[in-house]
Chains A and B, each alone.
Chain A
């Protein structure tokens, strides 16, 4: 079943990518891009990375709409302008493409997949087929959020008794991932009492500062771009 679903998503992702390369109409390209990106998000969901999958849908697939608008409004003059590539460009592009394919293939074959699996199993991060529970699938968003703040539930330090800090809802919810009895989150502290915790998360510096730096950087780029675009228009008006 999983293999079948994987096959469907993989074919859709690759077929969409090929469609982007082969179609000559901007809007059709955007459509194939949507198919490809949405299939990649489906692959993320299959891997249990629900937050990444949803982000992929929201940002990439949703962002493609904006791309589509700009593609239509800015690049084309007529409704169905075809983008034609001349043979020299085809050759250049295929050389680059084949070279990149070689890099990807050599990376895939070089990675020790079974070794990675052992590492993941050690961290308790391998999803098991029977471990579906109804109240929440994936359960990655809290861990991403707490890791952003510096609390790593995937890197447990053994021995420390952290059960006294029942006030922190995060604390408990992180532990549900570590495969204790999966209770309703709303039970919170109620479960907490009959659950012995022998490990505490590693507390580090987190990623909040880099995240903020990057987001402020993007904001600056955005404002700068809009300023440049506006300045150009003003000059045109003056002329």
Chain B
């Protein structure tokens, strides 16, 4: 189904003479699929948060809705929220108050358009995918700030201002650590970055060198803050600000904020998976090799491998989301000055240091050891970045398809 969407415009353009219809149909299919990936994980993770937080606090969490485990709890919550009255305070700037939840949702949704779920399974493949995804994700904060301002409440205004200060600060370490895999891969294309980490898990960028290992944790911390997850959820801070920017919201608009938050959690986890944790590759070289050979054997194999890759990717991302939930229910909330200190006095210098370290590290190794990796000279673990298992042939547009098929995807040898 996803594969069909990726080339549906090409397929339909052979069937009809109309210029805009295939593009339109393809766009609708893409939007529907991305919408499914935007909405479904959010619902699942809201349920997971309730279950995991319950277990961490020695409770059971939801148990009844939908039979066992309360797995339909999110749906029941959604129905309840839809029935609530849509209140707008008399003090509020009604227009901005109405509009700001949509800004948040649109920003989170747009970010998903640039996230590849497997090699080639991406709504908009771009050479600057990482850059534009981070740019779009940072717009989410705009909605939060507007919501805080337009509510006409001091609690909301405080929450919005805190969120703005926090976001402007945490963008810096987030950007600096996101650049580190870009330096390693030599590309900002998320599909390329993912495909370069095929093979053994030692090829994952998190294990590339000590600096990128630390960079992953800095990146993860910065994404927690940019998603306003605990311990950085100062924008809500219900112990001091009632509910921060959410104070005046109810019903559907309130649920839109939450939908966007959980979708963004999943998005940054997916981004961390692609950048540092091998993306859609299993981390087990024989298995990756087998998958890649299956992919190049026939188009059905190609499709199956992509779906398997998507499963791997979703599993890794879901684990990271669970870590986010685990952190939320483990660490106490920081004070706002501690949040800013953490970022400006610790994370930013650390990120700068890691960035310089990643750039210098291969040069130092090359000077001392004569090669760019610490791993032993031969053997399966020693494949340097760029010398990888075959990458599945990507379906090409119809005009150039024949030109690419005759160049079989041999071992990629982009040597240093």
Contact = CB atoms under 8 A, between A and B. Distances in A.
B241 interface: no
A182 B400 CA distance: 8
Interface in A55-99: 55, 57-58, 61-62, 64-66, 68-69, 72-73, 79-80
27 contacts: A1-B19, A31-B99, A34-B142, A50-B127, A58-B138, A65-B164, A65-B167, A65-B168, A68-B142, A132-B9, A134-B6, A134-B396, A135-B394, A137-B124, A138-B126, A139-B127, A141-B128, A169-B186, A182-B404, A184-B195, A184-B393, A184-B409, A186-B414, A187-B412, A189-B414, A190-B413, A191-B407
Contacts of A38: 139
Interface string B375-393: 0000000000010100101
A181 B402 CA distance: 10
A201 interface: no
B220 to A, nearest CB: 21
Contacts, number: 167
Contacts of A57: 132, 135-136, 139
Given A31-B99, A50-B126, A141-B128, A133 B397 contact: yes
Contact of A188 (B6, B24, B93, B414): B414
Contacts of A141: 127-128, 131, 188
Nearest to A128: B399
Contacts of A167: 415-416
Interface residues of A, number: 54
Given A55-B135, A185-B187, 13 more contacts: A50-B127, A51-B131, A57-B135, A58-B134, A65-B164, A68-B149, A79-B157, A134-B125, A169-B186, A181-B403, A185-B189, A186-B391, A191-B407
A18 to B, nearest CB: 15
B126 A136 contact: yes
A28 interface: yes
A94 to B, nearest CB: 26
A15 interface: no
A141 B189 CA distance: 10
Nearest to A136: B127
B141 interface: yes
Interface string A118-137: 00000000000111111111
Nearest to B150: A27
Interface string B147-166: 00110100001000100110
B192 interface: yes
A163 interface: no
Contact of B409 (A131, A136, A190): A190
A190 B399 contact: no
Nearest to A25: B93
B410 interface: yes
A223 to B, nearest CB: 16
Contacts of A137: 124-127
A203 interface: no
**Interface size of B as a range:** 35 or more
A133 B145 contact: no
Contacts of A134: 6-7, 120, 122, 125, 394-397
Nearest to A141: B128
Nearest to B124: A137
Contact of B414 (A50, A65, A138, A169): A169
A66 B168 contact: yes
A122 B136 CA distance: 34
B72 interface: no
A183 B397 contact: no
Contacts of A25: 93
A68 B100 CA distance: 14
- Among A66, A133, A139, A167, residue most surrounded by chain B Cβ atoms (within 10 Å): A133
Contacts of A169: 186, 414
Nearest to B164: A69
Contacts of B414: 169, 186, 188-189
B95 A190 contact: no
A68 B415 CA distance: 48
Contacts of A31: 96, 99, 146
Contacts of A190: 407, 409-413
Contacts of A133: 396-397, 400
| Interface-central residue, A31, A72, A169, A194, by most chain B CB under 10 Å | A31
A46 interface: no
Contacts of B187: 185
Contacts of A187: 391, 407, 409, 412
B139 A62 contact: yes
Nearest to B154: A79
B158 to A, nearest CB: 12
Contacts of A79: 149, 152, 157
B227 interface: no
- Give the interface centre of A1, A4, A189 by most chain B CB atoms within 10 Å: A1
A27 B167 contact: no
A17 interface: no
Nearest to A65: B142
B212 interface: no
Given A68-B145, A69-B164, A189 B127 contact: no
Given A130-B399, A131-B397, A186-B414, A54 B404 contact: no
Given A130-B397, A141-B188, A189-B413, A183 B407 contact: yes
Nearest to B196: A186
A53 interface: yes
Interface in A126-159: 129-142
A130 B19 CA distance: 11
B317 interface: no
Contacts of A139: 127
